[in-house]
Structure 1
């Protein structure tokens, strides 16, 4: 089963590139976000490859004027992993680890785009994510993360938006996590008995800063790391022992995050009080009941919708996973740096150290 990928000297096993081991949950994914500092526009994109399922899907979303426009597409890929076009959405690697382009051709939705992200620093390799539920391997993957500057044009309902004043983050992850249709026999505790995920990619004029934490139900981290990059090539890792955070009462949304970085401190204030500054990850397929990652929609399918941005939505699987545009203050050796980024949050189940109980019970 030879494909275009076999022309490249990238083989890791004796198998052709079309094969990716024996785990049906293997995936390979691109993610992007971008935003203006004033929050007037937020956009995001993703493209996922699921070799064992022979599916590739993609999405492009724009939040503007109190609405989130979601465009999604899926195809059966015929084992060809290098054809990064799904319906109207294409990802082009212009220069590896430096520059990537996203195009959204004309389609039935009101959204098109031709934008490029240029890296601000070398990518950060996050620690490998390995998690089991009892004896079952639930995830085993690697992610690299990189901040960048955007250029190009996004068009929404005939309005051209220049992305040149936007910064953002892109990542690449690959490995094993649950994709496609639900398993016929999930773990006894269920597929999502508990998952606490906090991810904070932030942009400053002279720095990029990343922090993430996966915690168990007791609030003990099983994967936690931070990096402060000076953009000039010096990256300092940190792993704080504690996170000082608060939630908005009656929700599971973060109000404030503070932590120590070793050479200073980091304070992040999500703009979750303003609906227009909150992006629903379900737009990209995350936890979406129909457009979940790796779902089979036939040879090719394209769909779109528009949702209103609600400052206080009901807590369910389509609203629990968000990225909130956030203000940040980074202190390095006594000097303060102000920037903008996101706080991605997915909190399912209990988290004892911050007071969350139940599966989706809101904070007090």
Structure 2
């Protein structure tokens, strides 16, 4: 066993040290996901993440910077022990300036050329999702929970070509989550084949307006038939107006036809509150879109999340987002797509991650392209 500074405090929940968790399941992880968007230009998104896998001896991080027609990706991994709670992987680090209020992320010099010093500043309280529990082959594949928080960003970014961007909260909006629990790892040789997901449409959408924050995580097997729904809305701190719970989410989304990968144009989302009242949000997709496969989601050229890669490993690449032949590969694992959201006269922003699979029965234009036309089927 290893001791960490957290072991000094009266916060233990199991008869183990803080370097260990109560299950030996290798898929147990704890992760940050953070997305920053330039809402004025509408074409720049920086998404980053940190992940701790105590039963894999892995701490990993990534940064995906998408601006205009290029996306730069940096993937980092180190052995977790003995620094089991250090929130640093190579040049990327996170400082908890004030819990649940301010998080500072820095990326120092590295071979990708991307650098930043950017602080997430919360504008709303965190929103705790319901527990996510799913079983596959008589095993709990999902047993996780997360909270989501909306905010603004402050700091600077230096792009790979040397351009310095000043990040100010008037135009840079941000969303983040913190999740922990068991979630499927990429399949390895000798494991049983994966089962097709029960869901056929997925939408993860943290959205914020001046006086309202909304978060939706919806999985549907068919239109109007959710297999998982966690949705809530809150007012800013100090606004005591109560909001009833969200009990249903309806949507009518528009998609780009003949796109190289599913691409949202916009549409309408209707939230039904307990008691029958509804809230309608109008969505318009912007150009900015950070493709998460650059961070290792669903794997990229042999890099898989949670995979042990030794003491310290770093790799980077740059994608041409106008390359139609490869665009499906980049977008396959979903993306943080910047959207404008309107409710009445109020205007706000957020991101939507989305996927539509064959058999859903709607949004045919959002289905992945036929396998024969793909340049990569991994």
Q: TM-score, normalised by structure 1?
A: 0.88
RMSD of equivalent CA atoms: 2.5
Pick closer, same or farther for the CA change 1:105–1:347 going to 2, 3 Å.
same
What corresponds to 1:139 in structure 2? 142
The residue that corresponds to 1:6 in the other structure is 7
- Supply the distance in 2 between the matched residues of 1:227 and 1:193 (Cα, whole angstroms): 23
Alignment partners' CA distance in 1, 2:337 and 2:325: 14
- Equivalent residue for 2:284? 269
Distance apart, 1:203 and its partner CA: 2.5
Segment drifting more, 350-359 vs 88-97: 350-359
1:280/1:99 CA distance change after superposition, 3 Å: same
1:255 aligns with 2:265: yes
Q: For 1:260 and 1:241, locate their aligned partners in 2 and report how far apart those are by CA, in whole Å.
A: 6
Q: Are 2:353 and 1:344 aligned?
A: yes
Listed as ranges, the matches of 1:95-244 within 5 Å are 95-156=98-159, 157-164=161-168, 165-179=171-185, 182=188, 184-187=190-193, 189=195, 196-216=201-221, 220-232=225-237, 233-234=239-240, 236=243, 237-244=245-252
**Per the alignment, do residues 223 and 328 of structure 1 end up closer, same or farther by CA in structure 2, a change over 3 Å counting?**
same
Report what 1:329 is aligned to: 342
Q: What secondary structure is seen at the aligned counterpart in 1 of 2:331?
A: coil
Shift of 1:197: 1.8
User: Could you say if the C-alpha distance between residues 199 and 93 of structure 1 is closer, same or farther in structure 2, counting changes exceeding 3 Å?
Assistant: same
Does the aligned pair in 1 maintain the 2:202–2:219 contact within 8 Å?
A: yes
Gaps of 5+ in 2: 272-276, 372-378
Alpha-carbon shift at residue 194 of structure 1 (Å): 5.4
Matches of 2:8 and 2:66, distance apart in 1: 39
CA deviations on 1:18-70 (whole Å, 9 max, x unpaired) are 22112111000001001111224211110000010010100112112321111
Q: Alignment partner for residue 24 of structure 2, among 13, 22, 25? A: 22
User: 1:167 & 1:118 partners in 2: Cα distance?
Assistant: 9
Q: C-alpha distance in 2, partners of 1:127/1:89?
A: 30
- Take 2:83 and 2:10, find their aligned partners in 1: how far apart are those partners? 16
1:254 CA drift (Å): 2.9
Rounded to whole Å, the distance in 2 between the matches of 1:193 and 1:166 is 36
Q: Which moved more, 1:65-74 or 1:95-104?
A: 65-74
Whole-Å Cα distance in 2 between the matches of residues 44 and 357 of structure 1?
A: 23
* Residues 50-100 of structure 1: per-residue CA shift (max 9 Å, x gap): 010010100112112321111111011115331111011001111110110
Match of 1:293 in 2: 305
Number of corresponding residues: 353
Cα distance in 2 for partners of 1:113, 1:8 equals 33
Partner SS, residue 294 of structure 2: helix
1:300-346 Cα offsets, whole Å, 9 max, x none, are 11111111123856574541211211121124xxxx31112111113
Matched position secondary structure for 1:296: coil
5+ residue gaps, structure 1, are none
Aligned counterparts of 1:177 and 1:56: Cα–Cα separation in 2: 16
Q: TM-score, normalised by structure 2?
A: 0.85
State the partner residue of 2:36. 34
* Distance in 2 (alpha carbons) for counterparts of 1:313 and 1:350: 25
CA separation in 1, counterparts of 2:200 and 2:92?
A: 30
